[in-house]
Structure 1
Amino acid sequence: MTQAHEGEQSGPPATEAAETVAVVDVPERSRFEISVNGAPAGFADYSDSEGGAGAQAGVRAFPHTVVHPEFGGRGMSKILIRAALDAARVADLEVLPLCSAVQHFIASNAEYVDLVPEARRAEFDL
Protein backbone atom coordinates (compact mmCIF):
# COMPACT_ATOMS: atom_id res chain seq x y z
CA MET A 1 0.00 0.00 0.00
CA THR A 2 1.21 3.49 -0.77
CA GLN A 3 -0.12 6.63 0.84
CA ALA A 4 -1.98 9.03 -1.44
CA HIS A 5 -3.54 11.54 0.95
CA GLU A 6 -3.92 11.48 4.69
CA GLY A 7 -5.40 13.66 7.35
CA GLU A 8 -7.91 15.54 5.23
CA GLN A 9 -10.91 16.26 7.37
CA SER A 10 -14.46 16.98 6.51
CA GLY A 11 -16.16 19.72 8.47
CA PRO A 12 -18.01 17.89 11.26
CA PRO A 13 -20.57 19.76 13.31
CA ALA A 14 -19.15 21.22 16.53
CA THR A 15 -20.79 18.42 18.53
CA GLU A 16 -18.80 15.70 16.73
CA ALA A 17 -15.14 14.84 17.29
CA ALA A 18 -12.80 15.59 14.39
CA GLU A 19 -12.46 12.73 11.92
CA THR A 20 -9.23 11.39 10.50
CA VAL A 21 -9.77 10.61 6.83
CA ALA A 22 -7.10 8.72 4.88
CA VAL A 23 -6.91 7.66 1.24
CA VAL A 24 -4.42 5.01 0.15
CA ASP A 25 -3.60 3.44 -3.20
CA VAL A 26 -3.82 -0.35 -2.94
CA PRO A 27 -2.22 -1.42 -6.26
CA GLU A 28 -2.60 -5.15 -5.62
CA ARG A 29 -6.38 -4.56 -5.58
CA SER A 30 -6.28 -1.86 -8.30
CA ARG A 31 -8.13 0.65 -6.19
CA PHE A 32 -7.90 3.59 -3.86
CA GLU A 33 -9.44 3.04 -0.45
CA ILE A 34 -10.75 5.69 1.92
CA SER A 35 -11.06 5.21 5.66
CA VAL A 36 -12.50 7.32 8.46
CA ASN A 37 -10.87 6.91 11.85
CA GLY A 38 -9.43 3.63 10.55
CA ALA A 39 -12.79 2.20 9.41
CA PRO A 40 -13.20 1.37 5.69
CA ALA A 41 -15.47 3.99 4.13
CA GLY A 42 -15.26 3.25 0.40
CA PHE A 43 -13.10 2.75 -2.66
CA ALA A 44 -12.46 3.79 -6.25
CA ASP A 45 -11.54 0.94 -8.61
CA TYR A 46 -9.13 1.58 -11.47
CA SER A 47 -7.47 -0.23 -14.33
CA ASP A 48 -4.26 0.87 -16.02
CA SER A 49 -3.32 0.36 -19.64
CA GLU A 50 -0.79 1.65 -22.13
CA GLY A 51 -1.65 4.78 -24.08
CA GLY A 52 -3.27 4.40 -27.48
CA ALA A 53 -1.66 4.99 -30.86
CA GLY A 54 0.49 8.10 -30.66
CA ALA A 55 -0.19 8.56 -26.95
CA GLN A 56 2.82 9.01 -24.70
CA ALA A 57 1.09 8.52 -21.36
CA GLY A 58 -0.53 5.45 -19.89
CA VAL A 59 -4.25 5.52 -19.20
CA ARG A 60 -6.05 4.92 -15.91
CA ALA A 61 -9.77 4.15 -16.20
CA PHE A 62 -12.02 4.62 -13.18
CA PRO A 63 -15.03 2.31 -13.70
CA HIS A 64 -16.54 2.24 -10.22
CA THR A 65 -16.57 4.30 -7.01
CA VAL A 66 -18.31 3.37 -3.76
CA VAL A 67 -18.82 5.20 -0.48
CA HIS A 68 -20.47 3.00 2.13
CA PRO A 69 -23.92 4.32 3.13
CA GLU A 70 -22.96 5.08 6.73
CA PHE A 71 -20.37 7.57 5.40
CA GLY A 72 -22.62 9.16 2.77
CA GLY A 73 -23.37 12.86 2.69
CA ARG A 74 -20.06 13.82 4.26
CA GLY A 75 -17.96 14.61 1.20
CA MET A 76 -16.05 11.32 1.25
CA SER A 77 -16.44 10.71 -2.50
CA LYS A 78 -14.90 14.12 -3.27
CA ILE A 79 -11.92 13.43 -1.01
CA LEU A 80 -11.48 9.95 -2.51
CA ILE A 81 -11.78 11.04 -6.14
CA ARG A 82 -9.53 14.08 -5.67
CA ALA A 83 -6.79 11.86 -4.16
CA ALA A 84 -7.14 9.30 -6.97
CA LEU A 85 -6.94 11.97 -9.68
CA ASP A 86 -4.01 13.70 -7.98
CA ALA A 87 -2.15 10.35 -7.95
CA ALA A 88 -2.90 9.86 -11.67
CA ARG A 89 -1.48 13.31 -12.38
CA VAL A 90 1.70 12.59 -10.39
CA ALA A 91 2.10 9.29 -12.30
CA ASP A 92 1.61 11.16 -15.61
CA LEU A 93 -1.45 9.07 -16.51
CA GLU A 94 -4.39 10.13 -18.62
CA VAL A 95 -7.80 9.42 -17.06
CA LEU A 96 -11.00 7.87 -18.39
CA PRO A 97 -13.86 8.77 -16.02
CA LEU A 98 -16.10 5.77 -16.76
CA CYS A 99 -17.71 6.09 -13.32
CA SER A 100 -20.37 8.80 -13.24
CA ALA A 101 -19.11 10.11 -9.88
CA VAL A 102 -15.60 10.61 -11.29
CA GLN A 103 -17.01 12.18 -14.46
CA HIS A 104 -19.16 14.58 -12.42
CA PHE A 105 -16.23 15.50 -10.18
CA ILE A 106 -14.05 16.33 -13.18
CA ALA A 107 -16.86 18.31 -14.83
CA SER A 108 -17.26 20.31 -11.59
CA ASN A 109 -13.52 20.84 -11.06
CA ALA A 110 -12.03 22.27 -14.26
CA GLU A 111 -8.46 21.83 -13.01
CA TYR A 112 -8.82 18.07 -13.66
CA VAL A 113 -10.24 18.20 -17.22
CA ASP A 114 -6.74 18.14 -18.70
CA LEU A 115 -6.28 14.59 -17.35
CA VAL A 116 -8.89 13.29 -19.82
CA PRO A 117 -7.50 12.83 -23.35
CA GLU A 118 -8.67 15.76 -25.45
CA ALA A 119 -10.01 13.47 -28.17
CA ARG A 120 -12.28 11.73 -25.62
CA ARG A 121 -13.59 14.69 -23.59
CA ALA A 122 -16.84 15.04 -25.55
CA GLU A 123 -17.59 11.39 -24.81
CA PHE A 124 -17.68 12.36 -21.12
CA ASP A 125 -19.41 15.74 -21.63
CA LEU A 126 -16.24 17.61 -20.73
Structure 2
Amino acid sequence: MTLTDKTGAPVTVTKKSDRFTVGVDGAEAGYAEYVERDGRRVFFHTVVDDEYQGRGLATLLIGEALSATRDEGVRVVAVCSMVASYVDKHPEFADVTDEATPEFRESLPD
Protein backbone atom coordinates (compact mmCIF):
# COMPACT_ATOMS: atom_id res chain seq x y z
CA MET A 1 0.00 0.00 0.00
CA THR A 2 1.27 3.45 -0.93
CA LEU A 3 0.92 6.04 1.80
CA THR A 4 0.10 9.64 0.92
CA ASP A 5 -0.44 12.67 3.11
CA LYS A 6 -3.37 15.09 2.88
CA THR A 7 -1.67 16.92 -0.01
CA GLY A 8 -1.25 13.69 -1.98
CA ALA A 9 2.53 13.59 -1.47
CA PRO A 10 4.04 10.11 -1.08
CA VAL A 11 4.97 9.23 2.49
CA THR A 12 7.38 6.63 3.86
CA VAL A 13 7.55 5.24 7.38
CA THR A 14 10.82 3.58 8.36
CA LYS A 15 11.70 1.62 11.49
CA LYS A 16 15.05 2.38 13.08
CA SER A 17 16.60 1.01 16.28
CA ASP A 18 14.99 3.61 18.55
CA ARG A 19 12.31 5.30 16.45
CA PHE A 20 10.02 5.18 13.50
CA THR A 21 10.54 8.05 11.05
CA VAL A 22 8.13 9.59 8.58
CA GLY A 23 9.46 10.99 5.33
CA VAL A 24 7.99 13.16 2.59
CA ASP A 25 9.70 13.64 -0.76
CA GLY A 26 12.93 12.16 0.61
CA ALA A 27 13.06 14.45 3.66
CA GLU A 28 12.55 13.25 7.22
CA ALA A 29 9.51 15.10 8.54
CA GLY A 30 9.14 13.57 12.00
CA TYR A 31 9.54 10.57 14.25
CA ALA A 32 8.06 8.49 17.06
CA GLU A 33 10.67 7.46 19.62
CA TYR A 34 10.46 4.24 21.60
CA VAL A 35 12.39 2.01 23.97
CA GLU A 36 12.04 -1.73 24.44
CA ARG A 37 11.13 -2.69 28.02
CA ASP A 38 10.02 -6.07 29.34
CA GLY A 39 8.89 -7.34 25.93
CA ARG A 40 7.01 -4.14 25.16
CA ARG A 41 7.67 -1.22 22.87
CA VAL A 42 7.18 1.96 24.91
CA PHE A 43 6.41 4.95 22.69
CA PHE A 44 7.38 8.07 24.62
CA HIS A 45 7.81 10.98 22.18
CA THR A 46 6.38 11.87 18.78
CA VAL A 47 7.09 14.98 16.75
CA VAL A 48 6.41 16.27 13.24
CA ASP A 49 8.41 19.27 12.05
CA ASP A 50 6.47 22.54 11.94
CA GLU A 51 6.73 22.88 8.17
CA TYR A 52 4.85 19.58 7.76
CA GLN A 53 2.04 20.23 10.26
CA GLY A 54 -1.55 19.72 9.15
CA ARG A 55 -0.76 17.05 6.57
CA GLY A 56 -1.78 14.04 8.66
CA LEU A 57 1.77 12.78 9.02
CA ALA A 58 1.56 12.03 12.75
CA THR A 59 -1.51 9.87 12.15
CA LEU A 60 0.20 7.97 9.33
CA LEU A 61 3.40 7.59 11.34
CA ILE A 62 1.70 6.30 14.47
CA GLY A 63 -0.62 3.97 12.57
CA GLU A 64 2.26 2.39 10.69
CA ALA A 65 4.44 2.16 13.82
CA LEU A 66 1.70 0.42 15.79
CA SER A 67 0.89 -1.95 12.93
CA ALA A 68 4.57 -2.89 12.56
CA THR A 69 4.86 -3.41 16.31
CA ARG A 70 1.79 -5.66 16.37
CA ASP A 71 3.08 -7.60 13.32
CA GLU A 72 6.35 -8.24 15.20
CA GLY A 73 4.38 -9.73 18.09
CA VAL A 74 5.43 -6.94 20.45
CA ARG A 75 3.04 -5.23 22.85
CA VAL A 76 2.59 -1.43 22.90
CA VAL A 77 2.80 0.99 25.80
CA ALA A 78 1.60 4.47 24.84
CA VAL A 79 3.33 6.97 27.13
CA CYS A 80 3.36 9.65 24.41
CA SER A 81 0.06 11.57 24.45
CA MET A 82 -0.19 11.48 20.64
CA VAL A 83 0.19 7.70 20.56
CA ALA A 84 -2.25 7.30 23.48
CA SER A 85 -4.81 9.44 21.68
CA TYR A 86 -4.39 7.38 18.50
CA VAL A 87 -4.89 4.13 20.44
CA ASP A 88 -8.04 5.56 22.07
CA LYS A 89 -9.46 6.36 18.61
CA HIS A 90 -8.42 3.03 17.05
CA PRO A 91 -9.74 0.12 19.12
CA GLU A 92 -8.11 -2.37 16.75
CA PHE A 93 -4.92 -1.82 18.78
CA ALA A 94 -6.53 -2.38 22.20
CA ASP A 95 -5.58 -6.07 22.22
CA VAL A 96 -1.85 -5.27 21.96
CA THR A 97 -1.74 -2.20 24.22
CA ASP A 98 -0.71 -2.23 27.88
CA GLU A 99 -1.21 0.51 30.45
CA ALA A 100 1.47 3.19 30.74
CA THR A 101 2.25 2.55 34.41
CA PRO A 102 4.53 4.79 36.51
CA GLU A 103 7.24 2.11 36.22
CA PHE A 104 7.28 2.49 32.43
CA ARG A 105 7.28 6.27 32.69
CA GLU A 106 10.19 6.28 35.15
CA SER A 107 12.30 4.00 32.94
CA LEU A 108 12.36 6.38 29.98
CA PRO A 109 15.36 8.35 28.71
CA ASP A 110 15.54 12.01 29.70
Q: Is TM-score (shorter-chain normalized) higher than 0.5?
A: yes
Q: Which residue is 1:39 aligned to?
A: 27
Deviations 1:92-121 (A, max 9, x none): 11111000000000001111111113xx37
Gaps of 5+ in 2: 103-110
Paired AA for residue 26 in structure 1: K
- Runs of 4+ more than 4 Å apart: none
Compared CA separation, residues 72 and 64, structure 1 to 2 (3 A): same
Aligned to 1:8: 3
Aligned partner (choices 9, 14, 20) of residue 24 of structure 1: 14
Match among 73, 77, 81 for residue 96 of structure 1: 77
* Residues paired across the two proteins, number: 102
Q: Which of 1 and 2 has greater Rg?
A: 1
8 Å CA contact retained: 2:3, 2:12 = yes
The partner residue of 1:74 within 47, 50, 55 is: 55
Identical-residue share of aligned pairs (%): 33
Instruction: Compute the displacement of 1:122 (Å).
Output: 9.3
When the two chains are superposed, the root-mean-square deviation of aligned CA atoms in Å is: 1.8
The one-letter code matched in structure 2 to 1:41 is: A
